[in-house]
Chains A and B, each alone.
Chain A
């Protein structure tokens, strides 16, 4: 069958808009001595095939909890998924039994951890750590798994993979280890890769190399990536869409250009203003004053109210509805309400 140009475009479009993951109204809490910490308070987002979604926000806003919840790595107790769904291929991961979840973990969804110095087991050879997932899930023979592992090491740019397979993590540098962690995460060819601050623990030159690797991998394997980070430079480099998190909620989502050029939420604006820029040397950095709210007893209205320069009376009382500024750009802020214009 020969497709017309229009048909090709349509199929491409269909691929682009195919949902891989849907997170709906996710609430996660942790019980501590001080009480219940409401880490996630209704997180909702979609992830499409082949795209990179960056989740950004300051420390403690719930980025990593989101990642761990999707991955099924929230220890329960003390954690508790109180409400919400994580739909992957129409299956709700939150309600899945542990043994069924294990068939998804590492196979369909993989994770890359922040610190490559601690993410690899110091007492096992790299080869074993690479192949054990394959051998568990795909029941490959030792030889087949070995070949596949060599292939992966080549792909992530480890020279002399055959010799390296027999070595231990301490015989690798930090950047090399992160490449190995990436190889391990990708070896079962997952559809979704969650990268939790994958470059934070690396020095700047290595960061750039690892980011290049991400872009290359996505081109080759078509994997969807959720990138958790607080580094807006990383976001600018590899993200397609951005979700901004604050105090356990996603307050603004949009594609990269929308967030960087027309940020709507005062918090997003503040975040962008607090990044040093080479092209604006004269200007002083503007930090966001204040601290995030206490998640033991989060405010009933918008959590950013206390730090927001545009706060109105309503902000502290009622959480704003989502406003769709475009198909991709959604923001939760009272300033979007027509009535707020009266004050400005």
Chain B
């Protein structure tokens, strides 16, 4: 087990290194610089600025500095917001994005699995049709459309919930709904499909022949086997949602990480781009690692390590 984790950890580092290197050279190969818009600044100031951010150095040297900043996880100050370090931005934005993401994910996983399971159990019944209609709508309606509709109806017309910001549990409902609908629909579809397949398996028939209760058959015998594909997409989904979803954060004026990320790309704010990329990829890789661990837990046939005396 320990050996496996160490191996995975080394691979994680290699992955992060490749991703960050690619990002660095891609960003620098784009035309433009952080100071393009500031036409008023005179050449001396610009030169000083470039010197401060080491942009005057050759790209190879910059790359070495960049690698150093990754290792120390200190990306220095943002170019556009000189009073903020990148670390500060991440420390401020990530917890909020994380909170939104965790709530969204919980809602999506729980409701998606329940919906998908019932749809499969009532295959071609009313619940099934309803769930699949919901899934099609949920997958195809973009979350920003849903978000604006929700604000218009629930917050403005009915005045039930606040329109925006992230300050109380009530404020969290609309962004969560808007963000969770898509993932819920995807999870429901996946759960239904794999549940339908599992329900035709011999071991389910055998469980029936044992005279077990339908609840036990579904929960204990079927669900665990049906959840494998769901777990697979959950890793990437989780990383994507937890690290901030730009559009939803923008619409609901939530000060999360997604906002900084997109702004920094538009502004060529190199430290912020690099910082958030490294952070994001580290997080994603870690989630994938978690998923692999969950596999081993769900399905004993997937071995994470070799035990002694096994056939």
Give A contacts to B, CB under 8 Å: 71, 73, 101-107, 110-111, 113-115, 118-124, 132-133, 136-137, 168, 170-173, 181, 184
Contacts and interface: CB of A to CB of B under 8 A. Distances in A.
B206 A120 contact: yes
Contacts of A172: 311
B212 A119 contact: no
B209 A110 contact: yes
A160 to B, nearest CB: 11
Contact of B203 (A101, A119, A173): A119
B171 interface: no
Contacts of A107: 211
Nearest to B228: A123
Given A122-B301, A124-B221, A136-B213, A105 B311 contact: no
A233 B254 CA distance: 75
A136 B216 contact: yes
B38 interface: no
Nearest to B206: A119
6 tightest A-B CB contacts, nearest first? A105-B211, A106-B211, A106-B210, A118-B202, A121-B203, A102-B211
B68 interface: no
B122 interface: no
Nearest to B214: A98
B43 interface: no
B98 to A, nearest CB: 31
A130 B108 CA distance: 35
19 contacts: A73-B209, A103-B211, A105-B211, A106-B209, A106-B210, A110-B209, A111-B209, A119-B203, A119-B205, A122-B299, A122-B301, A132-B212, A133-B211, A136-B210, A168-B300, A170-B301, A171-B311, A181-B206, A184-B210
B202 A136 contact: no
A99 to B, nearest CB: 9
B299 A123 contact: yes
B310 interface: yes
Nearest to B203: A121
A244 B225 CA distance: 39
Contacts of A101: 211
A114 B206 CA distance: 11
Interface string B208-249: 111111001000110011000000000000000000000000
Contact of A123 (B209, B211, B213, B225): B225
B154 interface: no
B201 interface: yes
Contact of B208 (A73, A122, A137, A173): A73
Nearest to B307: A171
Contacts of A111: 206, 209
B226 to A, nearest CB: 10
Nearest to A104: B211
Contacts of A73: 205, 208-209
Q: How large is the interface on B (under 10, 10 to 19, 20 to 34, 35 or more residues)?
A: 20 to 34
B207 interface: yes
B121 to A, nearest CB: 12
B213 A102 contact: yes
Given A101-B211, A119-B205, 15 more contacts: A107-B211, A113-B205, A118-B202, A122-B300, A123-B224, A123-B299, A124-B224, A132-B220, A133-B210, A133-B211, A136-B212, A168-B300, A171-B311, A173-B311, A184-B210
B298 interface: yes
Interface string B127-164: 00000000000000000000000000000000000000
A267 to B, nearest CB: 30
A323 to B, nearest CB: 36
A106 B300 CA distance: 26
Contacts of B311: 171-173
A235 B241 CA distance: 61
Contacts of B220: 124, 132
A118 B301 CA distance: 14
A105 B209 contact: yes
A102 B212 contact: yes
A112 to B, nearest CB: 9
Nearest to A110: B209
Contacts of B203: 118-122
A121 B225 contact: yes
A329 B225 CA distance: 48
A170 B205 contact: no
Given A118-B201, A123-B300, A170-B301, A132 B216 contact: yes
A133 B212 contact: yes
A182 to B, nearest CB: 12
A171 B301 CA distance: 9
B126 to A, nearest CB: 15
A137 B211 contact: yes
A11 B10 CA distance: 76
A121 B213 CA distance: 16
Contacts of B201: 118
A121 B221 contact: yes
Contacts of A106: 209-212
A113 B210 contact: no
B305 to A, nearest CB: 15
A56 B255 CA distance: 73
A121 B298 CA distance: 12
Contact of B207 (A110, A115, A121, A170): A121
Nearest to A172: B311
A54 B124 CA distance: 38
Contacts of A181: 206
Contacts of B221: 121, 124
Contacts of B211: 101-107, 133, 136-137
Most buried by A among B213, B220, B298: B220
Nearest to B227: A123
Interface string B291-311: 000000011110000000011
Of A113, A121, A133, most buried by chain B (CB within 10 Å of CB) is A121
